Chain A
Amino acid sequence: MSWQPLTEAQAGIWYAQARDPGSPVFMTGQALHIHGPLDAGAMTRAVDRLGQEAESLSLRFRVGDHGPQQRLEPRGAPRLVLRADVGPDEIQAALLAEARVPVDLLQGPVAGFTLWRLGPRHHVLSERIHHIAADGQAMVLITRRLAALYEAELIGTDAGEGPTPFARALDEDARFAAAPARSRQRDFWHDRLADLPPVESPAVRAADGCGRWFHRAEAPLPEGTGAAIAQLAEAAGAHWTDVLTALTGAYVARHLASVASGAASDVVLGIPLQNRMGRVARTPSTQVNVLPLHLVIDETAPLADWLRGAAARLAAMRRNSRYRGEALQRELGRIGAGRRLWGPLVNILPFDACPSLFGCDTRLQILGAGSVDDITFCFRGDPGAGLLVQVDGNDARYTAAETAAHGARLAQFLAQAVTARTLAAVPTLTPAETEATTLARNATTHPVPRTTLTALIEAQMRATPDAPALVFGDTRLSYAELDTLSAALARRLASRGIGPGAVVGVALPRSVALIVALLGVLRAGAAYVPLDPEDQSARRADMIARVSPAVLLGEDGFDAGSVPVLHPLAPEVTPGRHDVPPDDATTDLPERCPLATTPHPQGATPPEATHGAPDRTRLETRRAPSDNPPVALVRAPSERTSVATTRPQSDSPPPEATRHLLDSSIPTTTPHPPAPEDAAYVLFTSGSTGRPKGVVIEHDAIVNRLLWMRETYGFGPGDRILQKTPATFDVSVWEFFLPFLSGATLVVAPPGAQRDPVALAALVRAQGITAMHFVPSMLELFLQATASEGLAIARVFASGEALPQRLVDRFHHRIRGRLFNLYGPTEAAVDVTAHEALPGQPGAFVPIGRPVWNTRTHLHDAQGRPVPDGVPGRVFLGGRQIARGYLGRPELTAERFLPDPCDPGGRLYDTGDLAVSDGDGVLTFVGRVDHQVKIRGVRIEPAEIDRALDDSGLVRQAAVIVTEGPDGGARLLAYVVPRPGETAASIRAALAARLPQAMVPSQVVPLDALPLTPSGKLDRKALPAPETDHPGGAAPDSPTERLLAVLYAEILGLPAPATTGTDFFLAGGDSLGAVRLCLRLEDELGADPGLGAVLETPVLADLARRLDASRPGAGAPDLGLGPVLQLSQGEGAPLFAVHPAGGLAWCYRSLALALPGVPVVGLQSPLLDPDTPSPASLGALAQRYMDRVEALQPQGPLTLLGWSLGGIIAHAMAAEAERRGREVARLVLLDAYPSDCWRNEPEPDDGAALRALLAIAGFDPEAHANLATRAEVMGFLRRKGNALALLPEAVQTGVIRSVQATNALVRGHQEPRVAAPLLHVTATRDQEGSGRHAGLWQAFAGGVERLELDCRHQDLIAPDRVTEVVAAMAGRRLPSLTPVR
């Protein structure tokens, strides 16, 4: 058979293998374990006969001009290898090792058979065949035939009919190519796939590379499942294989993020169709065809109905099974990362493939079944005999544990599904997994006393009265002083009838008064509701109206409508009235209380307890119960969303208060302590929509949170905790009270300091802060401030936004201390999960960790089922910290606080957040249910772009947001605070260099500063709208981009150079085009980027970035100008190829390609570097080159080669080598002639040097004689997209300089005689009649072998001729170019 094109099926595999030529994943392999009397001699003969019959075992491949080609190599099939060196214990490892050996399709053989002798009656026969020569069915065919031939050899039976010849596969392929059925099927597929959604993978991680092997897991389907499948198939009127396929699709869908979140219900599987009907039924060859099956999951339809629909799709698919999947990938541009045509493979193989061998027992082990791009679910057996699921997970995307989990989970899923009425009823997880995720990971029970914040604080006050409790500015308060002040306020409040069940508003800036106010309210037994003192909006009035606080603690003049306003440290005042002069007040302060020095005058007002103002008090106490009675908030005991507890006495003022109402003297009523189930505070959260909601948190909840924190992080006396969060945000709750539960000191930052990194850093330093909190946005600013460098903060807590890992790294770089990432909604008492943020961890974001004490986290899909690890699920929270509900919003409360199925009477809070769990139960926040972003079908994580901006070093701060674009689709905007000198354009360019095209923001908006909310989060609403719109896909910029722009245009036939946004495949490229692109890139850049690079990053800008990154000195492309250019890799001693006059060795690239396995090293001229002085002589140059050669090959015989003037240098190097005592085994001169020939020729002038440049670039100078100036030559080369034109100008100058200087050196050179034998190749067309011939070297070498080729000088290194040159040389005995071992 002569060289033939590949079948379509083979071509698909060839290109896939070309993506990663060293990968063994395309080997199909199996092992037959044989027990019994095996005759090795008969088996050897049987394998020999099989090699004759099964022709595809003899296939060899090559790269032709129009793509890959194949032929049958005579006696090219492998022979049986006999091995007896491996014992039974090592056989599995040995089989796997053997299975993982890749084959070289160009060299062959494509298959291998090994007989392992493990004992006299125990053997293993391993078979390996590249998928390009056989598919799974062919493997079965071949193995059965081998068994028949063995029997024939053994006992002389007739082996029967052998397999049909390989030519059938070629004929059938050609026949289908021309058949009307082909275009009919093509139309079917194009129609069916027109609206195919983006294909998602169940993999947790995107593949970084292809993955060269896979993990395997096997699980039998539970007993009875087979029978139930058969029944279900009957009910659905479908075949059982279709039922199994569809249900596996439903299983896969459970692992897709878009399905789990409820955003979509699509799954796209790949179905291998055997295509064995007809002429090729018995032809060993590859026929199997993978095609996409798009299923829309309907969880609520009767299962049989849904299966009927799926079976119909499968039936339609089978009627169109001959149109190749690879062709569809090409035609639909569904190639490469993020644009796959199908996801997981589902393969059902009911045939028993295990052959019997005469007189022996056999067992079959499948080692590899071709490639595993993502994950393959393979079923073996049948419903009657039992079914086994075999899961193969690509090892770049799945761990062994994840693969094993899929095996068990799928088996369980199927067992449940086959008896379910609808899919909705089928759990995703196995019972064991459900147990682990819902119970074991939530086993957070920890003894926490049922008590109140108030009781704990009072206990601490009694325990350490003299310890420092509070620092604010110059003010220092001991626990005793704080006790006095807060107790006084509590009594005042109690005297007004305020106690458990009441709510007191607190609208104060950070101050001593604020702390006293909060403590006073809690000690009065009431709940506090913080209000922003600066906020004058209707929003505040609305909140006050909804809470109807009994009183409001605020500064004078605070407008609370009809609610009485008190100052926590002052005598009571009526609204709008304030007639106690502050100066008087100080006289009554406790002696040790230096309140007079407080920076805020309002703090100087005295506590009520020491100040008598009976008339006003009387007025107030009359007013309070009548106008604003605390009972205004008290609802029926059963209604949880009131602030009141269920205790009956809370319906009315406590007895003390009642008594006080009658007694209008000095208010010293003893407060009534709260109970654990009383409300501690009410916090308003803005939420994404609608009115703010008042979240009611009980003492028991916040006590759990605070005691957890105290114990987990070891807080105690000596700690100094910074209070900087506004009281209206829940983080402030632990800042306020944790110190007082720990005997620590609360350091209150001055108002406004929370927004000022410099002031914060100064405060931390001056006050010796040991714990503080940051929202990540503010932490970023803080870490950017010079003032934060070198700070020591024992514990820093981050929450409120996703914490980027880069920020963590920067934190640890700048600050000594530990950083913890906390997560929790206001509705669950501040935080419910925690994770320590360590430097250098993988992933863009820090996990939020595991649940805190007595807290449960659940991740559910859109149907409320627990999701598997690695799949994003909606976060539900249960346990002790859950809020009572939303104040006065029973419907909303019922909507978000649901009954907890795991905890009778307990409730689950629906956070609306999405998180994903790893295999250890560590959660990572992934977004909001309502904020999922997809741009052009690609799921985008804006924070990843944030990180790229940060990595660019061009911005001080950045925020990436998603908005609606002009076309209605999502678009990305980057808001940046640029570093000096940077512009939106430079920043966008930097992003384009770092991110896939789809992730580059459509616009970069520079700002002076990013707007932050009072809590320190990014204020998205305050970001300005961008002014104009620039489409993506800019003109190429970097040298690599310019080169690619020209090459894309050249290969795709584009009218103009491509833009950076051009996608190679979408612009019309196919696999062959991609191979051409690789070859051209190799021509131009000196290194083949690999087909994988093009397939995975087809967008021009992405590919350019990848090319730049893969070369040394990322960012500064390796222009291939170094003194040593490694042109190809290989074993053994290198072939050194010396540059011609121009100084570049690029011209040997084709030669290197034509010598596979030989490492070819190009030597390039130092003259290319304009700063290097010219050597004194050619001998000096040769010495320098020999230094390089000796460094690369310190010993052994040398092989030197030179074309044109390079030949003269190679000869001079041989002389130098011999002078140094090295043997030159081969000296190959390609159309080179001794320097005498040139001595009298004129030296090349500038024009001649320019023409040399054209020649170097691969153009015939004489055909372009019109190009006279350097600008013209360069312009010509640039138009042709030649790499030379892309070189920096200095290097172009270097090339011209090299041409001239090397010619001058040659004219001054005199050849010595060398001992080395010389092979000379003459290009007769150019040399005939020139007087130059090989014989001229006779005097200078130890023998000259001559070879004459009918070609031109240039052809000896031309891509299309060099194979001939090599072939001709290979026939020569003397200096064969095979490597020296």
Chain B
Amino acid sequence: MTLSLDRMRADIAAALDIGPDEVATDEHLGDLGLDSIALMRLLMGWEELQPTLPSERLYECETLDEFWAIARAAQ
């Protein structure tokens, strides 16, 4: 299994205890409640799925679209 947009969306939704459909790909993830502690936890799982993921760069992203763009580029 590899990292996918849907997987990322599902993980974020689970971390924030909201439904996946509430995670719009262009919404500021901070305003959905994601903070750096929660992101750190997500990254641990994502790095296992995709060891090539440049995790550090994800901290500077604001939206799921941006997450996915980085992840896809590194696949």
Q: A-B pairs with the 7 shortest C-beta distances? A: A281-B59, A277-B30, A318-B33, A278-B62, A319-B33, A281-B60, A276-B36
Chain A nearest CB, measured from B33 CB (Å): 4
Q: B28 and A181: CB pair below 8 A?
A: yes
Q: B37 and A277: CB pair below 8 A?
A: no
Q: How large is the interface on B (under 10, 10 to 19, 20 to 34, 35 or more residues)?
A: 10 to 19
Known: A275-B35, A278-B60. 9 other contacts (CB 8 A): A185-B31, A237-B17, A275-B30, A277-B35, A279-B60, A279-B62, A282-B60, A315-B17, A321-B30
> Given the complex of chains A and B, what is the CA–CA distance between A315 and B38 in angstroms?
11
**A273 at interface, CB cutoff 8 A:** yes
Given known A277-B39, A315-B16, A315-B17, contact A282–B33 (CB-CB < 8 A)? no
**B43 at interface, CB cutoff 8 A:** no
**B10 at interface, CB cutoff 8 A:** no
**A725 at interface, CB cutoff 8 A:** no
Q: B30 and A282: CB pair below 8 A?
A: no
| Contact bitstring B26-48, A, C-beta under 8 A = 1, else 0 | 00111111111111100000000
Given known A241-B37, A273-B35, A318-B33, contact A278–B17 (CB-CB < 8 A)? no
Chain B nearest CB, measured from A1081 CB (Å): 41
**B70 at interface, CB cutoff 8 A:** no
**B61 at interface, CB cutoff 8 A:** yes
> Given the complex of chains A and B, what is the CA–CA distance between A320 and B28 in angstroms?
11
| Contact bitstring A257-300, B, C-beta under 8 A = 1, else 0 | 00000000000000001111111011000000000000000000
Chain B nearest CB, measured from A530 CB (Å): 69
Q: Write the residues of chain B forming the contact surface with A, with a CB cutoff of 8 angstroms.
A: 16-17, 28-40, 59-62
> Given the complex of chains A and B, what is the CA–CA distance between A274 and B59 in angstroms?
13
> Given the complex of chains A and B, what is the CA–CA distance between A702 and B3 in angstroms?
82
**A350 at interface, CB cutoff 8 A:** yes
> Given the complex of chains A and B, what is the CA–CA distance between A277 and B28 in angstroms?
9
Chain B nearest CB, measured from A1378 CB (Å): 45
Given known A277-B62, A279-B62, contact A319–B32 (CB-CB < 8 A)? yes
| Residue ID in chain B nearest A317 by CB atoms | B33
Q: A277 and B29: CB pair below 8 A?
A: yes
**A130 at interface, CB cutoff 8 A:** no
| Residue ID in chain B nearest A320 by CB atoms | B31
**In the complex, which residues of chain A have a beta carbon less than 8 angstroms from the beta carbon of B28?**
181, 277-278
Interface centre among A137, A241, A281, A320, by most chain B C-beta atoms within 10 angstroms, is A281
| Residue ID in chain B nearest A160 by CB atoms | B56
**In the complex, which residues of chain A have a beta carbon less than 8 angstroms from the beta carbon of B38?**
239
Interface centre among B16, B38, B59, by most chain A C-beta atoms within 10 angstroms, is B59
**A255 at interface, CB cutoff 8 A:** no
> Given the complex of chains A and B, what is the CA–CA distance between A274 and B40 in angstroms?
13
| Residue ID in chain A nearest B63 by CB atoms | A278
**A773 at interface, CB cutoff 8 A:** no
Q: B59 and A276: CB pair below 8 A?
A: yes
**In the complex, which residues of chain A have a beta carbon less than 8 angstroms from the beta carbon of B33?**
315-316, 318-319
Given known A241-B37, A276-B59, A281-B59, contact A322–B31 (CB-CB < 8 A)? yes
Q: A277 and B59: CB pair below 8 A?
A: yes
**In the complex, which residues of chain A have a beta carbon less than 8 angstroms from the beta carbon of B29?**
277-278
**In the complex, which residues of chain B have a beta carbon less than 8 angstroms from the beta carbon of A275?**
30, 35
> Given the complex of chains A and B, what is the CA–CA distance between A279 and B60 in angstroms?
5
| Contact bitstring A128-170, B, C-beta under 8 A = 1, else 0 | 0000000001000000000000000000000000001000000
Chain B nearest CB, measured from A135 CB (Å): 12
Chain A nearest CB, measured from B38 CB (Å): 8
> Given the complex of chains A and B, what is the CA–CA distance between A319 and B17 in angstroms?
12
**In the complex, which residues of chain B have a beta carbon less than 8 angstroms from the beta carbon of A277?**
28-30, 34-36, 39, 59, 62
16 A–B pairs (Cβ distance < 8 Å), ordered by A:
A164-B60, A274-B36, A275-B30, A277-B34, A277-B36, A278-B28, A278-B29, A279-B60, A279-B62, A316-B33, A318-B33, A319-B32, A321-B30, A321-B35, A348-B37, A350-B37
> Given the complex of chains A and B, what is the CA–CA distance between A164 and B57 in angstroms?
12
> Given the complex of chains A and B, what is the CA–CA distance between A278 and B38 in angstroms?
13
Chain A nearest CB, measured from B5 CB (Å): 19
| Residue ID in chain B nearest A185 by CB atoms | B31
**In the complex, which residues of chain A have a beta carbon less than 8 angstroms from the beta carbon of B59?**
276-277, 281-282
| Contact bitstring A227-252, B, C-beta under 8 A = 1, else 0 | 00000000001010100000000000
> Given the complex of chains A and B, what is the CA–CA distance between A350 and B38 in angstroms?
11
Q: B36 and A281: CB pair below 8 A?
A: yes
Interface centre among A237, A275, A277, A279, by most chain B C-beta atoms within 10 angstroms, is A277
Q: B60 and A181: CB pair below 8 A?
A: no
| Contact bitstring A318-331, B, C-beta under 8 A = 1, else 0 | 11111000000000
Chain B nearest CB, measured from A1374 CB (Å): 54
Chain B nearest CB, measured from A379 CB (Å): 12
Chain B nearest CB, measured from A141 CB (Å): 10
Q: Which of B16, B37, B40, B61 contacts A278 (CB 8 A)?
A: B61
**In the complex, which residues of chain B have a beta carbon less than 8 angstroms from the beta carbon of A137?**
36
| Residue ID in chain A nearest B15 by CB atoms | A239
Q: Which of A237, A322, A348, A351 contacts B30 (CB 8 A)?
A: A322
| Contact bitstring A80-122, B, C-beta under 8 A = 1, else 0 | 0000000000000000000000000000000000000000000
Chain A nearest CB, measured from B20 CB (Å): 16
**In the complex, which residues of chain B have a beta carbon less than 8 angstroms from the beta carbon of A315?**
16-17, 33
**In the complex, which residues of chain B have a beta carbon less than 8 angstroms from the beta carbon of A282?**
59-60
Chain A nearest CB, measured from B15 CB (Å): 9
> Given the complex of chains A and B, what is the CA–CA distance between A428 and B40 in angstroms?
34
Interface centre among B30, B32, B60, by most chain A C-beta atoms within 10 angstroms, is B30
> Given the complex of chains A and B, what is the CA–CA distance between A239 and B17 in angstroms?
11
**In the complex, which residues of chain B have a beta carbon less than 8 angstroms from the beta carbon of A319?**
31-33
**In the complex, which residues of chain B have a beta carbon less than 8 angstroms from the beta carbon of A185?**
31
> Given the complex of chains A and B, what is the CA–CA distance between A778 and B33 in angstroms?
63
**In the complex, which residues of chain B have a beta carbon less than 8 angstroms from the beta carbon of A318?**
33-35
**In the complex, which residues of chain A have a beta carbon less than 8 angstroms from the beta carbon of B17?**
237, 315
**In the complex, which residues of chain B have a beta carbon less than 8 angstroms from the beta carbon of A237?**
17
| Residue ID in chain B nearest A184 by CB atoms | B31
Interface centre among A185, A241, A275, A318, by most chain B C-beta atoms within 10 angstroms, is A318
**In the complex, which residues of chain B have a beta carbon less than 8 angstroms from the beta carbon of A281?**
36, 59-60
**In the complex, which residues of chain A have a beta carbon less than 8 angstroms from the beta carbon of B35?**
273-277, 318, 321
> Given the complex of chains A and B, what is the CA–CA distance between A282 and B31 in angstroms?
19
| Residue ID in chain A nearest B16 by CB atoms | A315
